[in-house]
Amino acid sequence: MRSKNDEDDGFNDFLQQIIDMDHLEGAALGITKLVIEKGEDALSEKQKYVFQKQVLDEFTTSGCSRCGSDIPWSEMYDAATEHGMCNYCWHMTQKDD
């Protein structure tokens, strides 16, 4: 089962990757650091709104554009910023034959 607050599902690594790639600044950066540290439940309603609009809406995609599967958090960054597909489909499209 996927849960955003499960420490082992890659969600925090995904957030850290967005920070490391210098995508965030100001309030969005501070809020994302807070989520990594304490989880999404620690945010105020206003912070949750910013996190949703400026982080999740920007850097996640609802599903693979090729097969429609959920994208795991470990693959989300590349899917959302690069090719829009799960790793499997992306590799499939990279093959020439």
- Please, where are the H alpha helices in 1-96? 11-20, 26-38, 45-50, 57-59, 73-78, 87-94
What interhelical angle do 11-20 and 26-38 show, nearest 10?
A: 150
Residues 6+ apart with CB under 8 A from 53: none
Q: How far is the CB of 65 from Zn ion (least distance, A)?
A: 8
Q: How far is the CB of 13 from Zn ion (least distance, A)?
A: 20
- Would you count residue 86 as binding Zn ion (CB under 5 A)? yes
Select the span of 23-31, 38-46, 72-80, 82-90 touching Zn ion (CB under 5 A). 82-90
Give the C-alpha separation, 94 to 66, whole Å.
Answer: 13
- Would you count residue 28 as binding Zn ion (CB under 5 A)? no
Using CB under 5 A, pick the residue from 19, 66, 81, 84 that binds Zn ion. Answer: 66
Give the C-alpha separation, 72 to 83, whole Å.
Answer: 14
- Would you count residue 67 as binding Zn ion (CB under 5 A)? yes
Using CB under 5 A, pick the residue from 64, 76, 79, 80 that binds Zn ion. Answer: 64
Residues binding Zn ion (CB under 5 A): 64, 66-67, 69, 86, 89
